[in-house]
Amino acid sequence: MDINYQAGRKGLKYAGSKGLAVIIMEPLRGGRLVNPPEKARELMENFKIKRSPVEWALLWVWNHPEVTMLLSGMSTLEQVKENIEIADKAEVGILTPEELQLIERVRDIYLGIKAIDCTQCMYCVPCPYGVNIPQNFYIYK
């Protein structure tokens, strides 16, 4: 999702070219990529390779040779098991050009419905004025 946000893909490539370890945080955007919009879900479900939204997202991150580690938040044992299974088969270059094109189409759907570029990481809370900033950004469309 965030290839042009913060350091983005350009920063990833730069860090990799300098031999720096790159740790990816929030690869599921605080869980928001787990339940995609209907149009995105339909694209994934109708694709010839069947993967969960989580699997698509994590494999996309691990597809990059510059990525050293991926930190994904998990709150259930099932999520831990799923992430381990996905990590076990992940490798650089695992996704085909056709699969990457699907991911780009899904990304475009997400970007088309998002008014404010907020990952809901919660770093801005608590607000000293009691404003739930991520929730307000999420509601604003």
Query: Has residue 16 got a pLDDT over 80?
Result: yes
Q: Which residues contact 31 (CB under 8 A, 6 or more apart)?
A: 73
What's the mean pLDDT when you consider all of the chain? 91
pLDDT score at 95: 97
Cβ(45)–Cβ(91) below 8 Å: no
Q: Which residues contact 28 (CB under 8 A, 6 or more apart)?
A: 34, 54, 57, 58, 72, 73
pTM as predicted: 0.81
pLDDT tens by residue, 58-114: 999 999 999 999 999 899 999 999 999 999 999 999 999 999 999 999 999 988 886
Query: Has residue 19 got a pLDDT over 90?
Result: yes
Sequence spans of domains, the chain: 8-139
CA distance 91 to 38: 29
- The closest of 92, 90, 89, 66 to 3, measured between CA atoms, is 66
122 versus 14: the higher-pLDDT residue is 14
Spell out the CATH class of 8-139: alpha beta
